[in-house]
Amino acid sequence: MEKKIALITGATSGIGEACALRFAHGGYNLILTGRDGERLKAVGDAAINLGAEVLTLQYDVRDLAACEAAVNSLTGRWAAVDVLINNAGLALGLEKEYMGDTNQWDTMIDTNIKGLLYMTRLIVPGMVARDQGHVINIGSVAGDAAYANGNVYCATKAAVKAITDGLRIDVMESSVRVTNIKPGLVETNFSVTRFSGDTEKAANVYKGIKPLTGTDIADVAFYAASAPPHVQIAEVLVLATHQASGSAIYRN
């Protein structure tokens, strides 16, 4: 039986890297995308060691022309993506909205929203035409309610929820499934990126609580993709045990 293909954006670290390894272990071949070619190769090599065939595509999802060129370069079986994991995303800054950096706003909006839309627009028509496929968007608990100083990031993840829900309605006459996974605290490079490389500030985000890992979220994504064809895992909120919402966290 021919292996299914999963395309994972932002596959160079964190949840994206974990999804690559989990889906490789689960019998998928992979198309891995990201901006860092060296990291792409490292993750790809790790997936190959788990038995996957891997194609890496280095580009930035914010760049529509680059997205189009990357997807148009897929030929043969690689062009028939079975699972699209829209994972590429980031948070930048933690300031009050009226003090925010507009360049950081642009980067978050262009990556978290527009990049996801670009990849969806390019991949999903093929899924609908084949009457099979699965889109898994990595949202966030931040999309459910704003938290202090999270303003624009929270807005982008609220958009992911709305876009995911809208897509699910738009494809419901087909057999394409659509899932929104909303993690809470996950210890990855997320906070290091948010604080511009300040590892001490990043570490404080997870102080006093055992956070989720990228692997925890990858397991949820794989579970959703592995459900029987008539079962659509529409939305999953995944929190650390001592986290109750985006802002309610008990720290020991």
Q: What is the pLDDT of residue 42?
A: 98
Show the tokens assigned to 144.
């459910």
190: confidence class by pLDDT, cuts 50, 70, 90 = confident
Q: Output the pLDDT for position 189.
A: 85
* pLDDT (tens digit per residue) in 9-43: 999 999 999 999 999 999 999 999 999 999 999 99
Active-site residue 250, yes or no?
no
| Span 86-121, pLDDT tens digits | 999 999 999 999 999 999 999 999 999 999 999 999
| pLDDT reading at 196 higher than 90 | no
Predicted local distance difference test score (pLDDT) of residue 230: 98
pTM of the model: 0.96
Q: How many alpha carbons fall within 13 Å on the CB side of residue 33?
A: 26
Q: Would you state the torsion angle of the CA atoms of residues 222, 138, 134, 77, taken in this order, to the nearest 10 degrees?
A: -80
> Distance (Å, rounded) from C-alpha 116 to C-alpha 235?
17
Asked if 209 contacts 180 with a C-beta cutoff of 8 angstroms, the reply is no
Choosing from 28, 59, 118, 153, the catalytic residue is 153
Q: Which two tokens stand for residue 95?
A: 């300031």
